[in-house]
Amino acid sequence: MLDEIVEKTQERLVEAKNNKSLDELKKEVSQMEISKDFPFKEALKDPEIAIIAEVKRASPSKGIICEDFDYVGIAKEYESAGASAISVLTEPYFFKGSNDYLKEISENVSIPILRKDFVIDEYMVWEAKLLGASAVLLIVSILDIVQLKKFLDLAHDLGLSAIVETHDGDEIRTAMNVGAEIIGVNNRDLNDFSVDIDNSISLRRCVSDNIVFISESGIKTKEDVSKLKENNVDAVLIGETLMKSDDKKSLISELKNG
Protein backbone atom coordinates (compact mmCIF):
# COMPACT_ATOMS: atom_id res chain seq x y z
CA MET A 1 0.00 0.00 0.00
CA LEU A 2 2.76 2.46 0.91
CA ASP A 3 4.39 1.92 -2.48
CA GLU A 4 1.07 2.70 -4.17
CA ILE A 5 0.68 5.90 -2.17
CA VAL A 6 4.19 7.03 -3.09
CA GLU A 7 3.56 6.22 -6.77
CA LYS A 8 0.40 8.32 -6.77
CA THR A 9 2.26 11.12 -4.99
CA GLN A 10 4.84 11.12 -7.76
CA GLU A 11 2.03 11.49 -10.29
CA ARG A 12 0.58 14.40 -8.31
CA LEU A 13 3.96 16.09 -8.28
CA VAL A 14 4.27 15.96 -12.06
CA GLU A 15 0.87 17.59 -12.38
CA ALA A 16 1.63 20.20 -9.72
CA LYS A 17 4.93 21.16 -11.35
CA ASN A 18 3.21 21.47 -14.73
CA ASN A 19 0.78 23.95 -13.17
CA LYS A 20 3.40 25.85 -11.20
CA SER A 21 7.15 25.39 -11.45
CA LEU A 22 9.40 25.12 -8.41
CA ASP A 23 10.91 28.50 -9.25
CA GLU A 24 7.44 30.06 -9.38
CA LEU A 25 6.57 28.44 -6.07
CA LYS A 26 9.76 29.73 -4.46
CA LYS A 27 9.04 33.22 -5.75
CA GLU A 28 5.60 33.21 -4.11
CA VAL A 29 7.00 31.93 -0.83
CA SER A 30 9.71 34.61 -0.91
CA GLN A 31 6.97 37.22 -0.55
CA MET A 32 5.86 35.64 2.75
CA GLU A 33 7.09 36.54 6.20
CA ILE A 34 9.27 33.78 7.61
CA SER A 35 9.39 33.57 11.39
CA LYS A 36 11.63 31.22 13.33
CA ASP A 37 9.27 31.02 16.30
CA PHE A 38 8.23 27.49 15.29
CA PRO A 39 4.69 27.67 16.74
CA PHE A 40 3.94 24.01 16.05
CA LYS A 41 6.82 22.77 18.19
CA GLU A 42 6.00 25.28 20.90
CA ALA A 43 2.36 24.17 20.94
CA LEU A 44 3.43 20.62 21.78
CA LYS A 45 5.12 21.66 25.02
CA ASP A 46 1.94 21.11 26.99
CA PRO A 47 2.55 20.39 30.70
CA GLU A 48 -0.08 17.66 30.49
CA ILE A 49 -0.13 16.11 27.01
CA ALA A 50 -0.64 17.90 23.70
CA ILE A 51 -3.38 16.78 21.34
CA ILE A 52 -2.92 17.13 17.58
CA ALA A 53 -6.47 16.79 16.25
CA GLU A 54 -6.72 15.52 12.70
CA VAL A 55 -9.08 16.64 9.95
CA LYS A 56 -9.44 13.49 7.87
CA ARG A 57 -12.21 12.50 5.47
CA ALA A 58 -11.07 8.94 4.70
CA SER A 59 -8.33 6.36 5.14
CA PRO A 60 -7.19 3.36 3.07
CA SER A 61 -8.22 0.92 5.80
CA LYS A 62 -11.61 2.43 6.74
CA GLY A 63 -12.76 4.16 3.55
CA ILE A 64 -14.91 7.27 4.02
CA ILE A 65 -14.89 8.21 7.71
CA CYS A 66 -16.92 11.41 7.47
CA GLU A 67 -19.69 11.90 4.89
CA ASP A 68 -20.67 15.41 5.99
CA PHE A 69 -17.14 16.82 5.74
CA ASP A 70 -17.32 20.41 6.98
CA TYR A 71 -13.55 20.64 7.30
CA VAL A 72 -13.38 24.29 8.34
CA GLY A 73 -16.14 23.78 10.91
CA ILE A 74 -14.36 20.72 12.28
CA ALA A 75 -11.07 22.63 12.56
CA LYS A 76 -12.77 25.48 14.38
CA GLU A 77 -14.37 22.99 16.77
CA TYR A 78 -10.96 21.45 17.48
CA GLU A 79 -9.52 24.88 18.20
CA SER A 80 -12.34 25.87 20.55
CA ALA A 81 -12.02 22.50 22.32
CA GLY A 82 -8.41 23.22 23.27
CA ALA A 83 -6.50 21.13 20.76
CA SER A 84 -2.83 22.11 20.69
CA ALA A 85 -2.56 21.82 16.91
CA ILE A 86 -4.44 20.52 13.88
CA SER A 87 -3.34 17.95 11.32
CA VAL A 88 -4.84 18.23 7.83
CA LEU A 89 -4.68 15.44 5.27
CA THR A 90 -3.85 16.74 1.80
CA GLU A 91 -3.32 13.37 0.06
CA PRO A 92 -6.29 13.08 -2.37
CA TYR A 93 -6.38 9.49 -3.60
CA PHE A 94 -6.22 7.30 -0.51
CA PHE A 95 -7.23 9.81 2.18
CA LYS A 96 -9.52 12.04 0.07
CA GLY A 97 -7.59 15.11 1.21
CA SER A 98 -6.91 18.35 -0.58
CA ASN A 99 -4.51 21.28 -0.53
CA ASP A 100 -7.60 23.49 -0.48
CA TYR A 101 -8.61 22.04 2.89
CA LEU A 102 -5.29 23.10 4.38
CA LYS A 103 -5.38 26.56 2.84
CA GLU A 104 -8.92 27.31 3.98
CA ILE A 105 -8.38 25.93 7.48
CA SER A 106 -5.20 27.99 7.88
CA GLU A 107 -7.23 31.09 7.07
CA ASN A 108 -9.82 30.30 9.75
CA VAL A 109 -7.92 29.07 12.80
CA SER A 110 -5.02 30.48 14.77
CA ILE A 111 -3.47 27.31 16.20
CA PRO A 112 -0.61 25.65 14.26
CA ILE A 113 -1.35 23.25 11.41
CA LEU A 114 0.51 20.17 10.22
CA ARG A 115 0.38 19.30 6.53
CA LYS A 116 -0.17 15.54 6.66
CA ASP A 117 1.05 14.09 3.39
CA PHE A 118 3.74 11.89 1.89
CA VAL A 119 6.56 14.35 1.23
CA ILE A 120 8.93 12.95 -1.39
CA ASP A 121 10.19 16.15 -3.01
CA GLU A 122 11.30 19.58 -1.80
CA TYR A 123 8.44 21.04 -3.86
CA MET A 124 6.00 19.75 -1.24
CA VAL A 125 7.83 21.54 1.59
CA TRP A 126 7.71 24.88 -0.26
CA GLU A 127 4.08 24.16 -1.10
CA ALA A 128 3.23 23.49 2.57
CA LYS A 129 4.61 26.90 3.51
CA LEU A 130 2.55 28.63 0.82
CA LEU A 131 -0.62 26.80 1.89
CA GLY A 132 -0.30 28.07 5.46
CA ALA A 133 1.12 25.06 7.29
CA SER A 134 3.29 25.40 10.38
CA ALA A 135 4.74 21.90 10.04
CA VAL A 136 5.28 19.05 7.60
CA LEU A 137 5.49 15.29 7.99
CA LEU A 138 8.69 13.53 6.87
CA ILE A 139 8.39 9.74 6.81
CA VAL A 140 11.70 7.92 7.27
CA SER A 141 10.53 4.78 5.48
CA ILE A 142 9.96 6.58 2.15
CA LEU A 143 13.04 8.84 2.19
CA ASP A 144 16.75 8.13 2.04
CA ILE A 145 18.94 9.88 4.58
CA VAL A 146 20.09 12.55 2.10
CA GLN A 147 16.50 13.47 1.24
CA LEU A 148 15.47 13.40 4.88
CA LYS A 149 18.24 15.79 5.92
CA LYS A 150 17.60 18.09 2.95
CA PHE A 151 13.86 18.35 3.54
CA LEU A 152 14.30 18.77 7.31
CA ASP A 153 16.79 21.60 6.86
CA LEU A 154 14.58 23.24 4.23
CA ALA A 155 11.57 23.08 6.52
CA HIS A 156 13.52 24.77 9.31
CA ASP A 157 14.82 27.42 6.89
CA LEU A 158 11.20 28.20 5.97
CA GLY A 159 10.15 28.44 9.62
CA LEU A 160 8.33 25.10 9.51
CA SER A 161 8.61 22.38 12.10
CA ALA A 162 8.85 18.78 10.92
CA ILE A 163 7.55 15.60 12.48
CA VAL A 164 10.01 12.91 11.47
CA GLU A 165 7.86 9.79 11.45
CA THR A 166 9.33 6.45 12.45
CA HIS A 167 8.17 2.88 13.05
CA ASP A 168 11.15 1.19 14.74
CA GLY A 169 14.45 1.72 16.50
CA ASP A 170 16.53 1.89 13.33
CA GLU A 171 14.32 4.64 11.93
CA ILE A 172 14.52 6.55 15.21
CA ARG A 173 18.32 6.45 15.04
CA THR A 174 18.13 7.80 11.49
CA ALA A 175 15.80 10.58 12.63
CA MET A 176 18.16 11.60 15.43
CA ASN A 177 21.18 11.43 13.13
CA VAL A 178 19.67 14.04 10.78
CA GLY A 179 18.82 16.37 13.66
CA ALA A 180 15.09 15.78 14.12
CA GLU A 181 13.60 17.98 16.84
CA ILE A 182 10.21 16.22 16.75
CA ILE A 183 9.93 12.46 16.34
CA GLY A 184 6.66 10.67 15.80
CA VAL A 185 6.09 6.95 16.14
CA ASN A 186 3.32 5.62 13.92
CA ASN A 187 1.60 2.78 15.72
CA ARG A 188 0.01 1.65 12.45
CA ASP A 189 1.89 -0.61 10.07
CA LEU A 190 1.16 1.01 6.70
CA ASN A 191 1.59 -2.31 4.94
CA ASP A 192 -1.01 -4.36 6.81
CA PHE A 193 -2.72 -1.58 8.86
CA SER A 194 -2.32 -3.41 12.18
CA VAL A 195 -2.11 -1.04 15.18
CA ASP A 196 -0.34 -1.29 18.53
CA ILE A 197 0.12 1.78 20.75
CA ASP A 198 2.68 -0.14 22.81
CA ASN A 199 5.00 0.49 19.87
CA SER A 200 5.28 4.11 21.01
CA ILE A 201 5.88 3.10 24.61
CA SER A 202 8.63 0.64 23.77
CA LEU A 203 10.36 3.14 21.48
CA ARG A 204 10.08 6.15 23.82
CA ARG A 205 13.24 5.11 25.65
CA CYS A 206 15.18 5.35 22.38
CA VAL A 207 14.55 9.10 22.10
CA SER A 208 16.31 11.71 24.23
CA ASP A 209 14.17 13.95 26.43
CA ASN A 210 15.08 17.13 24.53
CA ILE A 211 13.26 15.80 21.45
CA VAL A 212 9.47 16.18 21.31
CA PHE A 213 7.95 12.70 21.10
CA ILE A 214 4.58 12.06 19.44
CA SER A 215 2.48 8.90 19.37
CA GLU A 216 0.41 8.55 16.18
CA SER A 217 -2.50 6.27 15.23
CA GLY A 218 -4.74 3.90 17.13
CA ILE A 219 -5.35 6.20 20.11
CA LYS A 220 -9.02 5.90 21.02
CA THR A 221 -9.67 6.30 24.74
CA LYS A 222 -8.67 8.39 27.74
CA GLU A 223 -6.99 5.23 29.05
CA ASP A 224 -4.81 5.12 25.93
CA VAL A 225 -3.82 8.77 26.41
CA SER A 226 -3.15 8.29 30.14
CA LYS A 227 -0.99 5.26 29.40
CA LEU A 228 1.06 7.21 26.88
CA LYS A 229 1.36 10.20 29.21
CA GLU A 230 2.62 7.95 32.00
CA ASN A 231 5.35 6.79 29.62
CA ASN A 232 6.57 10.33 28.89
CA VAL A 233 4.91 10.78 25.51
CA ASP A 234 4.67 14.54 24.83
CA ALA A 235 1.83 14.57 22.30
CA VAL A 236 -0.71 12.35 20.58
CA LEU A 237 -2.07 12.63 17.06
CA ILE A 238 -5.70 11.50 16.92
CA GLY A 239 -7.76 11.27 13.75
CA GLU A 240 -10.43 8.63 13.27
CA THR A 241 -11.69 8.66 16.87
CA LEU A 242 -12.28 12.42 16.77
CA MET A 243 -13.70 12.42 13.25
CA LYS A 244 -16.34 9.87 14.25
CA SER A 245 -17.36 11.71 17.40
CA ASP A 246 -20.56 13.75 17.47
CA ASP A 247 -19.17 15.86 20.32
CA LYS A 248 -15.55 16.55 19.51
CA LYS A 249 -15.20 19.25 22.16
CA SER A 250 -16.22 16.96 25.01
CA LEU A 251 -14.07 14.13 23.67
CA ILE A 252 -10.95 16.30 23.46
CA SER A 253 -11.54 17.47 27.04
CA GLU A 254 -11.99 13.88 28.18
CA LEU A 255 -8.88 12.65 26.36
CA LYS A 256 -6.73 15.52 27.56
CA ASN A 257 -7.84 15.64 31.17
CA GLY A 258 -8.84 12.03 31.75
Catalytic residue among 199, 217, 240, 256: 217
Residue 171 near residue 190, CB atoms below 8 Å: no
Determine the distance from the C-alpha atom of residue 192 to the mean position of all C-alpha atoms in its chain, rounded to a whole number.
20
Is 216 designated active site? yes
**Alpha helices for the chain (secondary structure H):** 2-19, 22-30, 39-43, 71-81, 99-106, 122-131, 145-157, 169-177, 198-204, 222-230, 240-243, 248-257
Is 24 designated active site? no
Is 217 designated active site? yes
Is 7 designated active site? no
Is 116 designated active site? yes
Catalytic residue among 127, 165, 171, 240: 165
Catalytic residue among 41, 96, 116, 129: 116
Q: Any bridge partners for residue 54, and if so which?
A: 87
Is 110 designated active site? no
What are φ and ψ of residue 110, in 5° steps?
-110, -15
Query: Strand 135-139 to strand 212-216: parallel, antiparallel, or no bridges (unpaired)?
Result: unpaired
Catalytic residue among 84, 87, 186, 187: 186
Catalytic residue among 216, 240, 248, 256: 216
Is 54 designated active site? yes
Catalytic residue among 41, 54, 91, 171: 54
Q: Residue 60: CA atoms inside 13 Å, Cβ hemisphere, count?
A: 16
Enzyme catalytic residues: 54, 56, 116, 165, 186, 216-217
